[in-house]
Amino acid sequence: MAEPHASTDLVIVGGGPVGAALALALADGARAITVIEAQARPPVGDTRATALSESSVRLLDALGVWPELAGDAVAIHTVEVSQQGHYGRTRMRAQDQGVRALGQVVAYDALARGLAEHARGAPGVEWLAPATVAGIDQDADGVSLAIDGPDGHNERRARLAVAADGTRSPLRERLGTGVREYDYGQTALLLPLETGGDPHTGYERFTSEGPMALLPAGGGRRTLIWTLPPDQAEAMAALTLERIAGRIAARLGRSFGPIVPHGPPVAWPLRRVEAERGHDGRVALLGNAARTLHPVGAQGFNLALRDVCGLAAVLGHARDPGDAETLTAWSCARQADRWRTRLFTDVLARGFVRGGQGLGAVRAGALLGLDSCSIARDGLAAQTMGLLGGLPRVGNWHLERRP
């Protein structure tokens, strides 16, 4: 059993993919890191597919996790954006960007499990699970946490704590940090299915009801994420799989061939939740606890991983990892990427939802314009790959472009 008030360098609350990635990025054997995770084991059965940007793949490679994920990952060579019922489409291709792939798709389960398993075994990492925070107290020199853990009640004192405990972040609530919420008035329907189309192309299609993303999942399978008004999502989820397939086929067009769902569909209500501050005293907020984005642009985890690496880079030279100077330096360094990524996601989520014929024509014009302007397309590709503005550096990792 741990000593009462045991001292550690860093406490991470939440051992999901983001908390585990931070533990792994900082584990050098010299630092003592405690991870407090509510679940005994990473959950199984989450049907989400996660599109990893090229930058995330490089970062996961540097963390040593990518080799295990690579075997089942599907490379995205092309992203095609189109609109139902209108001319105009644009394609971003890996070869035009001088990379082998724009990104890779992995199962969310495999990603969460791979990161947690690596972090649990990393030098200097103490993984307490199932465990939750029962109390937190901060003063000028550090933060003390009361923990209900596997061995009963524990305490830890550290210079820095990180809240990586998800969208509803119990630690953020305990601190009283406010959030700004925006209800998109949309629900994402997730459905694994089989269909035609190029096996290494990710499709983004704007339909009359809302945007549809089709991610390749290997072996002719794909994951569909269809953003719909909540009442339509509910009505759709109540249909038979055959009728759902018919609706999807009508939106995608004939070139995809038959749609074979491997259902049932899973519904995710969509809200953007953003903490009013990126850090509160000696507690930094990360991942979904800091900002939960709409999934349409596949940016949430990718952005969080760049935040993880940015934090690890700042902590590399910090005299005091939890002081205001260190955490402000991190927030400032990450500000532009966060702002750009949120804007990109919101334009996709709000600007391309529904609308009449007039708006459809404007969107068609925008897609045609994008397709004929390589500078704009390259900018969009760089944002999709997570490479706009460069990658945060972590220690001596070399993350230059791979051929």
Contact of 282 with 161, CB cutoff 8 Å: yes
- Nearest to ligand FAD of 36, 92 (CB atom): 36
Examine residue 164 and tell whether it contacts ligand FAD (CB under 6 A).
Answer: yes
| Binder among 32, 61, 68, 132 for ligand FAD (CB under 6 A) | 132
| Binder among 59, 304, 308, 380 for ligand FAD (CB under 6 A) | 304
Examine residue 278 and tell whether it contacts ligand FAD (CB under 6 A).
Answer: no
Residue 86 C-beta: closest distance to ligand FAD, Å: 25
Q: Is 372 helix (H, G, I), strand (E, B) or coil?
A: helix
DSSP category for residue 99: S
> Considering Cα of 128, then 132, then 136, then 140, what sign does the dihedral take?
positive
Contact of 257 with 195, CB cutoff 8 Å: yes
What does the block give as tokens for 57? 């793949």
Q: Which helix (H) or strand (E) holds 271?
A: strand 266-275
What does the block give as tokens for 322? 């939890």
User: Which amino acid type is present at position 56?
Assistant: S
Footprint of ligand FAD on 359-378 (CB under 6 A): none
Examine residue 302 and tell whether it contacts ligand FAD (CB under 6 A).
Answer: yes
Alpha-helix runs per DSSP H in 148-240? 170-175, 230-237
| Binder among 92, 107, 179, 188 for ligand FAD (CB under 6 A) | 188
Residue 335 C-beta: closest distance to ligand FAD, Å: 19
**What phi, psi does 96 have (nearest 5°)?**
-70, -20
Residue 36 C-beta: closest distance to ligand FAD, Å: 5
- Nearest to ligand FAD of 157, 294 (CB atom): 294
Q: What percentage of the chain's residues is helix, strand, coil (to nearest 5)?
A: 35, 30, 35
What does the block give as tokens for 326? 């260190």
What does the block give as tokens for 27? 């584990």
- CA angle at 127 for the pair 122 and 130, rounded to the nearest 5°: 150
| Binder among 295, 321, 322, 360 for ligand FAD (CB under 6 A) | 295
Measuring CA to CA, which residue among 325, 310, 193, 322 is closest to residue 260? 193
| Binder among 2, 6, 31, 39 for ligand FAD (CB under 6 A) | 39
Examine residue 165 and tell whether it contacts ligand FAD (CB under 6 A).
Answer: yes
| Binder among 25, 26, 27, 50 for ligand FAD (CB under 6 A) | 50
- Nearest to ligand FAD of 326, 345 (CB atom): 345
The contact mask relative to ligand FAD for 208-247 (x = CB under 6 A, - = no) is -----------------x----------------------
Using CB under 6 A as the criterion, which residues of the chain lie in contact with ligand FAD when the complex forms? 13-19, 36-39, 48, 50-51, 132-133, 164-166, 170, 188, 190, 225, 268, 287-288, 295, 298-302, 304
